[in-house]
Structure 1
Amino acid sequence: MTGVLGDRERVEWLALARAPKIGPVSFFQLLDKFGSPVEAAKSVPQLKLDYQAAEQEIDMCRRAGGQIVCACEENYPPALSALSPPPPVLSMIGDHGLLKRPAIGIVGARNASAAGRKLARLIAAGVGAAGLVSVSGLARGIDGEAHAASLETGTIAVLAGGVDQVYPPQHQDLYSAIAEKGLIVSERRFGHRATARDFPRRNRIITGLSVGTVIVEAAERSGSLISARMAGEQGREVMAVPGSPLDARAAGTNRLLRNGATLVRHADDVIEAVSAQIARQDDLFAFQPTAKGAHTVPDIPEGLAGRVYESLSPTPVAIEEIALASACSARQCASVLLELELEGRAITHAGGLASRT
């Protein structure tokens, strides 16, 4: 299944993606093993696919002016297709053409300082003037400033909830403006209200769409640092704006710089840092149809997810030790940890460590 799916194929793909306890890793394992969502449902009795709910979701998205795109289709974002595994489905409202242009993620503190907000606006406006799209998460603070400053040049808002769910509510007007002039994207079900476990999925899409991500302000335990780590794991440029050591909102960004992130002061620095990636973007993100065999993931024995989760503790532990305690390979353990992290139940750290959330 590549190119553009027929109506029935789209319903079947979406139904598998929305099945209980099915995440990106397990989705592509089933697809790789059985060849299609229908064959997977026939071969795994406990896998109950709700085709009617999938049809309703597609219809609701269309009535809202949006579209559901599957990972095997040509109009799926090529930058996300390069991830392993990519989100199986995306809901989108707005200008899909923005996905063909190089993008910069701009994220940071919700309680941003006046200086941080100004920097976010200047960076977003500057990269926009250079032809790049800004990507962020529609949150208060840095995210909102980046979106507002790049409405006319191109901005993409990635939501943690459904593509129709405005969060925070104060950004209703900004959401409407982005839907009209930019692009709204979500991995989650239409109508889904965001919970804490949805934000790692959102962050992974923000960094996945971008050739590089700029962290403007972030405290030591900020979710923006998760975005920075994900960008690094995806092979994308990680950039940070330095801040005063006396400001807690700069503690995370300063630590990123100490650990090797690229220091940026303004848009010109950002453009210089990602120029090589932009030049290679056509090769890096060439369309790769996500069908049988396109994303091979290791077989996960039944019950392994539970064993890995039980092996985790609030204290970060080496993934190799978690795999040993769970009686699995490091590759199997890494796949399970990805699934657990996307569910909001675990977090992986720099240095090959993981912990329970």
Structure 2
Amino acid sequence: MTLRLTDAARRDWLRLARTEGIGPVSFRDLIHRYGEPSLALAALPDLARRSGRAAPPRIPGPAEADAELEQGARLGARLIAACEPEFPLGLAHLDPPPPLIWTLGDETLLHRPAVAVVGARVASAAGQRFARELAADLGRAGFVVVSGMARGIDGAAHEATLDSGAIAVLGGGVADIYPPQHADLHARIAARGLIVSESAPTYSATARDFPRRNRLIAGLARAVVVVEAEIRSGSLITARLAAEQGREVLAVPGSPLDPRAKGCNDLIRQGAAVCEGIDDVLRVLEGFRGFEAPPAPEFRPEPLAEREADALRERVAALLSPTPVSRDELIRASGAPAAHVLAALAELELAGRLEFTAGGAAASV
């Protein structure tokens, strides 16, 4: 679905995206189900009641949405909804796509081929040098370099690509400078590159926001290169999400004596390509032809009667456990049409009875 939003529809799109209990999976299903954000907003109280929620979800009012839009406008930022033609195809192909993004800077970078370069915050001097050289080589080859504006590897990659194309994806809003010592880097990327975020423009990131940021980093890129990473690190989350999204994953091998190499070496054991320079990146991307327009939403059958919908919702809830399971598996196990199962999952998320992982799998709460 590609369309231009009116001012009123944009406000309602933002209100639905910021509604309590609505994540990207439920947002997408509600838009496909009702067609317009205003109709989805109107249906939410009844959906919440039917799904067993004690009280209706908190829906931001029109004034609250207008305040966020005005906040972005004062910063010179722009909101792009997932239905709009300017929305990057890489993010549109995510399952599910983010409902919206805020951008600050040169939006044309969203539509150029990109490679992500990520790695340790407490990076070695050698690792930072490798990241700078690889990022610079990628820029000369025509790629935009995407990273997360963290200390260490991320900062080195950004510094090397300010002239060729740098995209910084943030966990907080586009005006949230984290870490504080990157204030100057943030200003230079905003002026010469692009800053991207799903969050409200001045929102300050918390720990739970960084997996969402990592998902966007992977989604914008054709390949993700991990330069240094310990076994438990956000960079490995980015690599896992990239693999789930069908992107290429490369890792820079390192000494087994350095804890910062253990994550990369483990990725290679799991099948990631070895990266010793730009030639390795170009080799794995040889067969990549770019992103095409995402497929149109599947046909939606007539909604179920309330009693049937309630029964299916409880049947789907019984299939859930604390172990995340894919939506395809739930559809297969339920034996019901996909559209009806997705509607049941949206109602269960709205009721707070399940949560979705960053990769879109569902688990009981």
Instruction: Give the alignment's TM-score, normalised by structure 2.
Output: 0.82
Matching residue within 152, 172, 180 for 1:141 = 152
Which residue in the other structure is 1:44 paired with? 44
1:301 correspondence with 2:307 = no
Cα distance in structure 2, aligned partners of 1:355 and 1:58: 33
2: CA distance between counterparts of 1:302 and 1:5? 36
Any gaps of 5 or more consecutive residues in structure 1? Answer: none
Residues 117-140 of structure 1: per-residue CA shift (max 9 Å, x gap): 011001100000101000000001
- Whether the 8 Å CA contact 2:212–2:358 is kept in 1: the answer is no
Task: Note the C-alpha offset of 1:269.
Answer: 1.6
Counterpart pick for 2:229 among 204, 211, 218: 218
Give the secondary-structure state (helix, strand or coil) at the position aligned to 2:286. Answer: helix
2:75 to 28, 51, 64: 64
8 Å contact from structure 2 (residues 33, 300) kept in 1: no
Q: How does 1:240-255 map to 2 (within 5 A)?
A: 240-255=251-266
Please give the alpha-carbon distance, in whole angstroms, between the structure 2 residues aligned to 1:134 and 1:74. 22
Aligned partners of 2:129, 2:244: CA distance in 1, in Å?
Answer: 29
Greater CA drift, 245-254 or 43-52: 43-52
* C-alpha distance in structure 1 between counterparts of 2:157 and 2:251, whole Å: 15
The superposition leaves residues 206-229 of structure 1 with CA deviations (integer Å, 9 ceiling, x where unpaired) of: 000000000000101111111111
Write the distance in 1 (CA, Å) between the matches of 2:199 and 2:171.
7
Instruction: Please tell me the root mean square deviation across aligned C-alpha atoms, in Å.
Output: 3.3
Distance 1:207 1:138, change over 3 A: same
| Contact 2:109–2:193 (Cα < 8 Å) also in 1 | yes
Mapped partners of 1:169, 1:4: distance in 2: 37
5 Å-filtered alignment, 1:1-357, equals 2-45=2-45, 46-47=56-57, 48-277=59-288, 280-281=289-290, 285-288=291-294, 301=313, 308=320, 311-312=321-322, 319=325
Q: What percentage of aligned pairs have identical amino acids? A: 48
Gaps in structure 2 of 5+ consecutive residues:
46-55, 302-308
Give the letter aligned to residue 286 of structure 1: E
Q: Which amino acid in the other structure matches residue 301 of structure 1?
A: R
Q: Equivalent residue of 1:275, what SS? A: coil
Is the Cα contact below 8 Å between 1:133 and 1:154 reproduced in 2? yes
Residue 264 of structure 1: CA displacement?
Answer: 0.7
Q: Which amino acid aligns with 2:150?
A: A
Q: Is the 8 A contact 2:113 2:143 kept in 1?
A: yes
Residues 220-264 of structure 1: CA deviation (Å, up to 9, x unaligned): 111111111110111100000000011000001000001100001
- Equivalent pairs, count: 330
- Closer/same/farther in 2, CA of residues 178 and 252 from structure 1, 3 Å limit: same
